[in-house]
Amino acid sequence: MRSRVANGDLPTPLPPVPVPSFWPRVRHYAVPPAMIETATARRHAGDWAGACAAAGVDVDFTLRAVARRHGTDLAARLRADLRHLAPDLLRWHLPRIAPDGLLRPGLTVALARYDLPGRDRADAPHLVARTPPAWADAGQRIGLALWDGSRDDPLTRCHPHPHPSRRFRLDLHRHLWDARRTDELRSRSGADGLAGEARPQGVAAARSEWTTGALPSSLPSWADPRLLDRIPHGRRCAVERWAEEAAVLLDADRPGTTTVAVRVGERRRLALHLKGDAGPVLRQALPGEELPLLPDAATWEPPDLELLRTGTLTPEQLHPLVASALAPGRTPGTGPSGPLPAGQPRHVECRGARHRIGLVDGVLSPLDHDPAEIRREELLVALTGTPLPCLRAIDEAHRHPEWLTGVRERLDHGDLAGALTVVEGLLGPDAVLRDGALRDELETAAQRRISYGLFRAGLPDAPSAHPDGRRARARRGPRPGPAFGTKSRT
């Protein structure tokens, strides 16, 4: 008898299991509301340096040194851009990597180009934002520098990719960091049709919609679907915007060129020819063909648009400048929610009764046991006895708290103040941490700042900082549980 394989009687293959998106967690933790509020207030006051400090951005130049080296005209143009730089918005839009959604390490992103008379465009000074290499990414800080092609700066010498990236560039997308042009986000992201699209109800429907496909519902006539069949799931390409964005790229870099390359996947590039008789023409890029590269910011839809379309987030949960552009009819909120208010007593089932534990004199303590009983129970524990359920709950909160995921996320994204706020609000500002996972996470976060200090000092990845020769922190896989937020504290 012939096998089922020979007869062709095979079951329909199951679709690939979608990878959960990290963007909901990123939008909840990466740019905390306190950072947005402080950076915005300082920017409105004209203190661009204070706004950068509030947003975790280190400025690696002085305007006086720029004026001496490149002239007062360039320094004046640079000062005007810095006064309208929204560093918190820049952090919001910088490229990120899976699985944790951290900033892409070792990246130099061009924010603005300053053409000078008699100097080639490729060598013109650029205002750039830099992310440290992976071994020094503690705190998720960003460096702001003026790149002019020289390698005199120690940070430029030790940076793995000091040259501005062609793929990740924002000088053609100033609406992603310049507060004067944030209204352009709606038109350049394709959000005009967002209001007319139905939003799925519920988290399950939103996750399903996120992974249904990478192409928009209607393609331009020149876009051949057969060329777009390998786009990774979980991302949606902005095909309808490619022609206009390609024209912007060519006007800025190659006025006499009519073709751009579009990167749609790992080692997969398409070529978009603009000035044809029948309109744009999309084809497979030829091997070794040198073409201007369409930036990722123009190739893909922004994740915020997809999060709104699927109902995963509401406009009130986005950055206020992003929400006002993508949802102009809604009143923008204050951004992502911060740490939940703490200090409320929690309940524990203790010896057949419902007892409370809460903060007393800055320390988490049982509220329904008198001090004498607590001293007796602590002595019993010292003699290897079984403690009260209330004491066990307090010990568990110190060693393996259920809200550790939220603290870890904040530490990973550099929100040390937010993480300490959560810990102090739940354990008390005077609590002494006991051995356990919480203390290990806080100690690791403090030790990893040394690696970033070495990088800022212009030193290489010292073996003494990493005896095992690996990066400062091993990446964790996708975490189970809710997409963001802390668990119940009851």
Whether residue 55 is found in the same domain as residue 170: yes
Please give the share of the chain, as a percent, with pLDDT higher than 90.
43
Instruction: Flag whether 196 is in a domain.
Output: no
Count CB-CB contacts under 10 A for residue 133: 20
Last residue of a domain, one of 181, 206, 236: 181
Residue 455: burial class (beta carbons within 10 Å; 0-12, 13-18, 19+):
buried
- The yes-or-no verdict on residue 394 having pLDDT over 60 is yes
Whether residue 282 is found in the same domain as residue 146: no
- Give ∠ CA 269-273-274 in degrees, rounded to 5: 135
pLDDT computed for residue 13 by the predictor: 47
Instruction: Flag whether 435 is in a domain.
Output: yes
Q: Which of 123-127, 228-232, 294-298 has the lowest mean pLDDT?
A: 228-232
Pinpoint the alpha helices (H) of 137-202.
154-158, 184-188
- The yes-or-no verdict on residue 384 having pLDDT over 80 is no
pLDDT computed for residue 17 by the predictor: 41
Instruction: Flag whether 478 is in a domain.
Output: no
Whether residue 370 is found in the same domain as residue 434: yes
pLDDT computed for residue 323 by the predictor: 93
pLDDT computed for residue 224 by the predictor: 81
- Residues 301-343 pLDDT 10s: 999 998 998 889 999 999 999 999 998 877 666 667 666 555 5
Q: Which domain holds residue 407?
A: 346-457
Residue 63: burial class (beta carbons within 10 Å; 0-12, 13-18, 19+):
middle
- Residues 57-98 pLDDT 10s: 999 999 999 999 999 999 999 999 999 999 999 999 999 998
Q: Which of 109-118, 317-326, 352-361, 444-453 has the lowest mean pLDDT?
A: 352-361
Query: 161 or 209, which is more confident?
Result: 161
Whether residue 38 is found in the same domain as residue 132: yes
**Euclidean distance between CA atoms 361 and 428, whole angstroms:** 8
pLDDT computed for residue 181 by the predictor: 95
Whether residue 28 is found in the same domain as residue 166: yes
Whether residue 170 is found in the same domain as residue 237: no
Instruction: Flag whether 274 is in a domain.
Output: yes
Instruction: Flag whether 329 is in a domain.
Output: no
Q: Are the C-beta atoms of residues 51 and 87 closer than 8 Å to each other?
A: yes
pLDDT computed for residue 334 by the predictor: 65
Whether residue 231 is found in the same domain as residue 167: no
Average pLDDT over residues 429-438: 86
Whether residue 305 is found in the same domain as residue 352: no
Per the structure, how many domains does the chain have?
A: 3
Instruction: Flag whether 337 is in a domain.
Output: no
Average pLDDT over residues 96-107: 94
DSSP, collapsed to helix, strand or coil, labels residue 134 as: helix
Average pLDDT over residues 234-256: 88
Q: Are the C-beta atoms of residues 125 and 70 closer than 8 Å to each other?
A: yes
Whether residue 298 is found in the same domain as residue 353: no
Instruction: Flag whether 481 is in a domain.
Output: no
pLDDT range class, residue 156, cuts 50, 70, 90: confident
Dihedral, 267, 273, 274, 275 alpha carbons, nearest 10:
170
pLDDT computed for residue 350 by the predictor: 87
Q: Which residue has the tokens 């950072």?
A: 35
Whether residue 29 is found in the same domain as residue 140: yes
How high is the mean pLDDT of the chain?
82
List b or e across 349-381, with b for residues whose CB sees 16 or more CB atoms inside 10 angstroms: ebeeeebbbebeeeebbbeebeeeeeeebeeee
3-state helix, strand, coil in the chain (%, to 5): 40, 15, 50
Q: Convert 30-67 into a string of H (helix), E (strand) and C (coil).
A: CCCHHHHHHHHHHHHCCCHHHHHHHCCEEECCCHHHHH
Biggest alpha carbon–alpha carbon distance for the chain: 91
Whether residue 53 is found in the same domain as residue 151: yes
pLDDT computed for residue 341 by the predictor: 56
Whether residue 148 is found in the same domain as residue 264: no
pLDDT computed for residue 230 by the predictor: 67
pLDDT computed for residue 209 by the predictor: 38
Tokens of residue 312, six digits: 């995963």
- The yes-or-no verdict on residue 433 having pLDDT over 60 is yes
pLDDT computed for residue 233 by the predictor: 58
Instruction: Flag whether 338 is in a domain.
Output: no
